[in-house]
Structures are given as structure tokens and as C-alpha cells.
Amino acid sequence: MCAEITSQFYEGGFILNIFKANTADGGQADQPTEDSIDKSLLKDDLYQAVNGRWEKTAEIPADHSSTGGFMDLNDNIDKQLMSDLDDIIEEKKQYDAPFSEFLKLYALARNYKKRDADGADPLKPYLEKIENITNFDDLNEQLPELVKAGYPLPFGFWVEPDMKNTQVNALFASVPGLFLPDRTYYENNNPAYQQLMPVFTKMASQLLILADYSSSEADEIVESAKRFDAKIAPNVKSAEESADYSKMYNPQKFAYFSESSSHIDFMNLADALFGHAPEQLIVTQPKFYERFDGLINSDTFTDMKNWMLVNTVRSASGYLSEEFRQTGSVFSRALSGKKEATPQKKAAFYLAEGIFGQTIGDYYAKKYFGPKAKADVEHMVKNMINVYKNRLSNNTWLGKETREKAILKLDKLALQVGYPDHIDQLEYKFKVTPENDGGTLFDNMSRFGEITIEDTFEKLGKPVDRTKWEMSAATVNAYYEPFKNIIVFPAAILQAPFYSLKQSSSQNYGGIGAVIAHEISHAFDNNGSLFDELGNLNNWWTKEDHEYFSKLADKMIKEFDGIPFAGGKVNGKLTVSENIADAGGLSCANEAAKNEEDYNLYDFFINWAKVWRMKATEQYKQLLLNIDVHAPAELRANVQVKNLDDFYKTFDVKPGDGMYMEPGERVKIW
């Protein structure tokens, strides 16, 4: 369940997007009432039985691509935090850094009058720098500065834990992104390409015109950039291919890697960035670099430069004038089906929060997160781990050797609940230059990007901070980090409908209990199972056990693959890891709920379906279908319960009912 992430291999994240919540200590749960549940549908369509009546009347706000449980929680916390900030600004109290710096950045972001007056001026030096690069010699001379400043380049470096020695940070080679969301959009005359590329083309041209290019210049630059984008596209992984972690670890001697290009001096660049080039780096997409010379050369130099111009103006649009911001969001709105751009105040909040995420998370958690809820959830986690351990101990298809290794991994699983002990030191490095000192929003954001890159590169070869959180505490999500073998539950997800002290234990297990077990299951899905108890990429399975597990994973692929949805079909391979985690999570939560004296499986399954309440635009559904490693929310609610015998008993589901699945087709892994 992926969210926006810092780590390239960050696993978990119960949902795709980052969502945030309001009251962590459990406001009254908005449970479906008996009147809202269509009991006539319970045997045929659990999701529609629980959510159908709501869906008929729910309206998607103009600046949203979806509405429902997750988005409602997101909206609630936005309103709460922005209201709090209004009061804080009105009080004119003094705060310590980094909260004081967050307030300064928020003020700059909200000052649209100043942003409009500045227009494209803050951006122009960056565009001129690209324009003035005349050849590869010139480019190589400036490359260290361009990389440190975060310019878009057709290659990149980042620093992460070495996948086979996760105690130490290693250097990875990255590949450029595409104009459209995935490589598959460019293949087989995909109609989505014909629909979306004209929207992108028009938007990019308008952004360049706003940056004072003539209309003809803008059109020429964009067409050139599109040629380069099209040249890259066949050589990068699709979302489905990227979902397979086993193909990511491709270590190379840096001297060998540097021979990928006859035109880019990788060796001198690495010497300039890191003091000296590392002996080794890890290439997650070797195919791209095997073909690098054919992509980046004298014949493509001008197209590459124009590609850099388009990406620069596009990435900067949200930090400039309102006209830039509105124009720069046209393509993403076409992708998601949003009718309007995010309102100004909320956009400013998101921008400042994006830089100071842990600062805001710390404020949120300390004000709204209750110690009683934390203790109760930690108790639930320990219960769930015990359920999992019992299941592993009694597993009938794992051999003794593999079973013992699995239990060892479970014993070493670390837990973080609520919020980190301290705000990441990176956020203390962000010092805002305010308007009265000549600061602009764009200049500040650019400098913060440079600081972030420098901070990342400084970690090369150094020990990994295994306590670092990858999410703000104000995020309605959870994740498993395979490199650390750790599960994390931010404060914001610990509220209704996932969790509330006012919900029954069965409702809580149908919500947060399933989330907890889902994240534990990620340690044993098709990707997580590749990593050992220390988070190292290491095969701890016997050959026979892994072959059997692969057959079970194939059954999960088959269970979802090809299900019609939103005018397309579910990709079982793309979604297999999340589906395995959903299946394991729901099954273990079901068992844990039954261990409580007051258990009620009707409430358990109803709340499970409630968690996935979502009404979305067709465009957003289609986007997720193409790139999201999660199955559609409605199918997550409906398909997984069919694998559980208790579901059939609870709702008296029989052959012929819509929710019935033959026993031999039910997938049971963990």
C-alpha cells in the first residue's frame, strides 16, 4: 500500500495517497446504521450493501478526485490544522524552530499577491542556465551544480540502505520519469495516450508562454521535449515491473557503470558530489543504462535540453503566481478528474506541510493523540503478532527450517506507534528567508531542495538511522519497511473508522486490526519475503517452501487478474503483494476478533467494508488501475472476504449468491 514516499523501496502504506485524520483518541465512530445497510445485498455484494446508499447521494467536491472515508478524514484534519494555524497566527506568539520556520513558509505560500507580482522572475535564471548549456563539455562542467540544485536530468543518484547490508547507506542510480504516468500509456496505440498527451502538450506550452517564451518558441520546445520523452519511454520499467523487488538489486562497479555513457562523465561527477566515486552503486533498471548512449548523445542533445526546460517550468509552477499554479495543475486534473485546482489556502498549507511534515505531525500528535489509544493499539499489535506467530508455528505447508526463520523474523519485527521521539534533524536545517528580506516562495523552496539533496548525499557510506520515520504522524496510513523489518502506525490512522475507544473490539479489528495484520503480512508477501529479520535481501526459504509459496501467490494473482473495473481490468501481477497482505491481514484480524469475549463477526465484516468506502471519478479509477499496486477499494472489500470461511457462516452465503466462491478457489496463504 503505497503512499508518497521518501524511500524508493518503501513498502506498506495502507492506501495509495497520503491521507490524514482528525481525532486520534476516538471521536464517535460514524458507523453504518442498520437503516443505511441494504441487507438484501449482503450475500451478493458486501461493499454495495454497506456503502451503496451512501454512494448514491455522495458528491465529489470540485477540487477532489474522490470522496468517502479516507478523503473525509483528510478533509477533517486539513480544516482542523488550518483553523489551529489561523489562531496561532492571530495570537502572534513566538515559537521555536522548526515550527517558527514552518509559519514563515506558510506565510510566503499564502501571499498570492506577492507571488503574482513576482510572476516568472524567480524562475527565469533557472531556465536561462539550461538554455546557455551549449554542448556536453559545457554540461559536464556544470553537472555537479545541476545535480545539487535538483535540476531535472535524464539520470540521477540517490542514497538508501544497501539492500544486502541494510546497516549501511549505498548509492543507487535512478531513471527519469515520463510525461505520462506509466510506460504502458505509450504502448500498443493506447487510447489514453491520445487523450492525455494533447492535454499535457497544451499545458506545457502555456507554462512556457507564462515564462515569457513566444507561442511559437513554446510549441517548438514542447514538441522537442516530447521526442525525448518518447525515446526514453520504451527503456524504463512499467509499474508492474517496478513492483517486483527481486529485480531491483543490480550492484555494479562504479567504473563499469561510468562506461554507460560516452558523453556524460559519471566518474568526475561522482568525485565532485561525494569527494570520490564510490567503488560500487546499485542500478535498479540496468536496461536503461545499457541503452544510455543511444538515448543521450549529440543527436538528442537539443531535445534533452528542451525536456529539461519543460520539466523545470512544470515542477516550478506550484511555487509561482496563481496563473502558473492553475495552469500547472491542468494535466493532473485531467488525470484524476478533478474539476478545480486545490483552493489557495489549502494549497499553501500543503506546500508548507510538505517541507515540514514531521513538524506538523509532532504538533498534531501531541495535541490530538491520546496515550490511552496508543497503549490500546500497542496491545492490539502484540495480540496480532501472537496470532501470526501461532499461525506460523502451526503452518502445514512450511518446512521446519523455513518456519523457524519466519518466526525469527516476526520476533525481530520492530514497532513504532503514534509519532517519533524527535523531529527529523533535516527540518531544523530549513531556514526561511521572509519577504521583507527579499525572499520569494520559489527561492526558498529551491534552497530547501538543495539542502535535502545535500543531506541525502551526506549519508552515503554511513550507518542507517533505523529509527527514522518515513511518514508524518498526521498521516492516515501505515507501513512496513522491509529494509528495517519494522511496522509503523502514525497517530492519525488510530481513529474511526479504523479505531476508536467508542467502537466495539470487533469493529476495531475489522479496521485497525486488519491494518496491523496487513503490515505484518508485508513481511511475508512476495516482496517482503525476500528480506530477512535484519531487513537484508537474503533468501531464507528452502527451495521447496518457496516454490509452494510461489504457487499460492500465483493463485492470488489469478483471483484478481482480469476482474472488470472502470472500463479496464485489474492487473493481478501489479497488485499481488498488496492482495497477499490484505488476505493475511483480514484473516489474522478475523481470528484475533474471535479471541475477544464480546466478538461479533457481523460488526467485524461490516466495518471492514466501511473502511473502503470511496466514490471516485472515472479518470481517477482508471489512473489507479494502471499504476497502483493496490486493487480497487471496492474489490479489496469484496474479494478478500470470500477467502474466509467465517464470512460464509456469518452471512449464510450459499452457492448461487454473488459473494460465493467455491472452496477450492479460495486463497489462503497466511
pLDDT of 245 over the 50 cut: yes
Q: What is the pLDDT of residue 7?
A: 37
What is 2-41 written as a DSSP string? --S-SSTT-EE-SSSS-B--S-TTTPPP-PPPTTTS-GGG
Q: Which residues contact 521 (CB under 8 A, 6 or more apart)?
A: 528, 580, 581, 582, 583, 584, 585, 588, 670
Alpha helices in 28-150 (DSSP H): 46-57, 69-91, 99-110, 112-118, 124-131, 136-148
> Where do we find the cell 529551491?
446
Rounded CA separation 475/493 (Å): 7
CA angle (285, 289, 291) in 5-degree steps: 120
Mean pLDDT of the chain: 92
Lowest pLDDT segment from 24-38, 220-234, 249-263, 306-320? 24-38
**Exposed/middle/buried for residue 394 (C-beta within 10 Å: 0-12, 13-18, 19+):** exposed
Q: Which residues contact 368 (CB under 8 A, 6 or more apart)?
A: 22, 23, 24, 25, 80, 491
- Residue pair 369/491 in contact by the 8 Å Cβ criterion: yes
Least confident piece of the model among 364-373, 425-434, 652-661: 364-373
Grid look-up 513492483 returns 243
Indicate the pairing of strand 414-418 with strand 486-490: parallel
What long-range pairs does 447-451 form, CB within 8 A, spacing at least 24? 448/355, 449/149, 449/150, 450/148, 450/149, 450/150, 451/426
pLDDT score recorded for residue 35: 62
- The average pLDDT across 632-651 equals 97
pLDDT at 20: 33
Check pLDDT > 90 for residue 652.
yes
Of residues 633 and 5, the one with the higher pLDDT is: 633
Dihedral sign computed on CA atoms, order 391, 510, 517, 491:
negative
The pLDDT of 146-156, averaged and rounded, is 97
Neighbours of 39 (CB within 10 A): 9
> Which region holds residue 476: left if phi is over 0, alpha if psi is between -120 and 50, else beta?
beta
> Which pLDDT belongs to residue 69?
78
C-alpha cell at 563: 476482474
pTM score, two decimals? 0.91
What confidence tens digit (pLDDT) does each residue in 271-289 have?
999 999 999 999 999 999 9
Q: Taking a C-beta distance cutoff of 8 angstroms, is the pair 651, 605 a contact?
A: yes
pLDDT number for residue 2: 33
**DSSP-derived 3-state class of residue 120:** coil
373 pLDDT band, cuts 50/70/90, is confident
* Integer Cα distance of 164 and 260 in angstroms: 24
Average pLDDT on 418-441 reads: 95
pLDDT in tens, 456-502: 999 999 999 999 999 999 988 889 999 999 999 998 888 888 888 88
Q: What pLDDT, on the 0 to 100 scale, is given for residue 9?
A: 39
Residues 48-89: tens digit of each pLDDT = 999 999 999 999 999 999 999 778 888 898 899 999 999 999
383 pLDDT band (50/70/90 cuts)? Answer: confident
Percent share of the chain, pLDDT over 70:
95
Instruction: Give catalytic residue positions.
Output: 519, 582
**What are 307-348's pLDDT values in tens digits?**
999 999 999 999 999 999 999 999 999 999 999 999 999 999
Name the band, by pLDDT with cuts 50, 70 and 90, for residue 662.
very high
- Helices then strands (H, E): number in the chain? 29, 12
